[in-house]
Amino acid sequence: MALPLTGPLSLSQVNTELGRSAGATISLGDAGVRGLAGVAGGAIGLGTLRGKSNAFAWTITSNIQELDVHAAALARGWNGSAAVTVTIGSGVYIWSDDVAVAALRTGGAYPGGLTLINRGFIMGKGGAGASNATTHAFNIFSTRTNGVAGGPAIALSTPITIDNAQGYIGGGGGGGSSGLACGGGGAGGGLGGGLSYVSNLVPAVVTAPAPPSPGQPGSQNLTQDPNHLAFNVHYAQHTGAGGAGGNVAASKGFSI
């Protein structure tokens, strides 16, 4: 809260604004007081402190992966006690590439309070899609893996005020199931599952391409093993990041 523009103004109020106890020893020449007043040297009086605020404000204008707000604020000059207001700009992504790590975490304590204003996207990592086994006339390969749960968008360890008007906050979607084809990864950037198979010649595994940037649609990749005499043609895929759906994966029959 800013110091009053009019009316009584005391040094105890200045202490409180600086995050100190009201009765702490204070002098107008203190570095903290001068910093609050914006008077580096020379004469200084209580009048120069009117309307001053010790709050820390930070507007994020570019994408950040796995944001620790506490550490980032300290790195940008926060004194560790003033009120903190963080604004995520329109179209900005705060995202995670790890289902075990939240896209945004508050970190340590905020003695002056923490406010988050979100006008962009805060999204957890999408879970990887399931991998399925497939067969053909010569061999059977039964190994498969299940889809993976998505990760959290936000991890809170301290009281916070959140204004999410015009913003989006969402945990990553769980990985898709699989039938004949591999399952799509969850929304938020998860990979699609691989498709494993064995022919009468050489075992091979088809894997999905790397995921796209946040918010972009997924793609699919056609892979054919030259050692398999065109017995099998497989498609490997992944989901889109930021909520785009997974693409279809398929296995075509063999020909000789």
pLDDT in tens, 62-114: 999 999 999 999 999 887 877 899 999 999 999 998 889 999 999 999 987 89
Residue 21 lies in a domain: yes
Residue 138 lies in a domain: no
Range of the domain at 10: 1-54
Bridge partners of residue 105, in order along the sequence: 68, 155
Q: Do residues 67 and 104 touch, judged by C-beta distance below 8 A? A: yes
Q: Is the pLDDT of residue 34 over 70?
A: yes
Residue 63 lies in a domain: no
Tens of pLDDT along 171-222?
Answer: 877 766 555 554 555 556 555 544 444 444 444 444 444 554 555 544 343 3
Q: What's the pLDDT at 109? A: 92
Residue 240 lies in a domain: no
Residue 117 lies in a domain: no
pLDDT band at 20 (very low <50, low <70, confident <90, very high): confident
Average pLDDT score, the chain: 73
Q: Which of 246, 68, 225, 70 is nearest to 147 (CA)?
A: 246
Q: Is the pLDDT of residue 168 over 50?
A: yes
More confident residue, 115 or 52: 115
pTM as predicted: 0.62
- Total structural domains in the chain? 1
DSSP category for residue 201? S
Residue 247 lies in a domain: no
Alpha-carbon span 214 to 222, nearest angstrom: 23
Q: Kindly report the backbone phi and psi dihedral angles of residue 152, in degrees, each rounded to the nearest multiple of 5, phi listed first.
A: -80, 155
| Half-sphere exposure (Cβ direction) of 90: Cα atoms closer than 13 Å | 2
> Poorest-confidence range of 37-41, 82-86, 150-154, 237-241?
237-241
For residues 35-57, give the mean pLDDT.
86
Alpha-carbon span 187 to 171, nearest angstrom: 9
Residue 5 lies in a domain: yes
